[in-house]
Amino acid sequence: MKFDWKYIANKIDSRPERERGLLFAVVLAIVVLLGMNFVVSPLLRQQKDLNAKIQQHLTMTQSMTEQLNALQIAQNVDVDANLKQKIQEYRTLLETKDQTLSQFQKSLVPSAKIDYLLESILKRNKNLRLISLRTLSVVDLMNDTALVMPMTVASNASASLDEDVKKAALEQRGLFKHEVEIVVEGGYLDMLAYMQSLESMPERVYWSRSDLSVLEYPKSRLSLRVFTLSLERKWLQL
């Protein structure tokens, strides 16, 4: 069946301005829903997979750390070679887990570069305008009270306690979330292209929230929160 687009266009032009506005709003809503289905939904699935991996790492690390803490307390009461060996085994497991997290971090955008990458990709699209770019507070994804080693050793501990074991009691491990909020204005399709550019970068970033609002057709505003992960708390403030 062949549509007479000219007839349809004339039919639309003949309608009152208010009805034409409502019709354009409906068409825009359909375009937004299609964009959400083909672009945003896959990103949400990837975000869910990332959260599952992070939770797995945190659970395993927390379990090993709690066991190490229990052995640490027991050692203060009765120091022997077998107990020291077990502590060393758990320290080795934790170091292995740290290496795994370090390898995972290498696939992500370094926190010091995230703002530069967001702006550089934005500059490639002349139809988008940067409204604001700000850093958010660093979030420690690990439970500080559960995963921080005891900061003091019992006063009656053996003076011959290995210095490496003492150091383990003072060591803190963390996995930190560094997040940036960027707000841009422009056309809806240009915003989708920007999000796809972020997704296709060789160094990965992830986004935690996106809010899209139509200001005045065809101009829209996108607020996007993008984050990376790091084993360091240090954060470059914008």
DSSP letter for each residue of 4-30: -HHHHHHHHHTS-HHHHHHHHHHHHHH
Written as one letter, the residue type at 154 is A
Residue 123: the pLDDT is: 85
- What pTM does this model have? 0.50
Residue 226: the pLDDT is: 87
pLDDT tens digit string along 110-124?
Answer: 777 777 788 888 888
Domains of the chain and CATH, by start = 16-230 (3.30.70.60)
Distance CA 84, CA 62 (A): 20
Residue of 131, 121, 115 whose CA lies nearest to 222: 131
Q: What is the largest CA-CA distance in the chain?
A: 94
pLDDT tens digit string along 86-111?
Answer: 777 778 877 777 776 666 666 677 77
Residue bearing tokens 């955008």: 109
Phi, psi of 31 (to 5 degrees): -65, -40
Q: Show the DSSP H helices in the chain as ranges.
A: 5-13, 17-35, 41-77, 81-106, 114-123, 144-147, 163-170, 188-199
State the chain's mean pLDDT as an integer: 70
pLDDT tens digit string along 23-73?
Answer: 666 666 666 666 666 655 666 676 777 777 777 777 777 777 777 777 766
Judge whether 106 and 142 are in contact, CB under 8 Å.
no
Written as one letter, the residue type at 94 is L
Phi, psi of 219 (to 5 degrees): -80, 135
Residue of 222, 199, 219 whose CA lies nearest to 210: 222
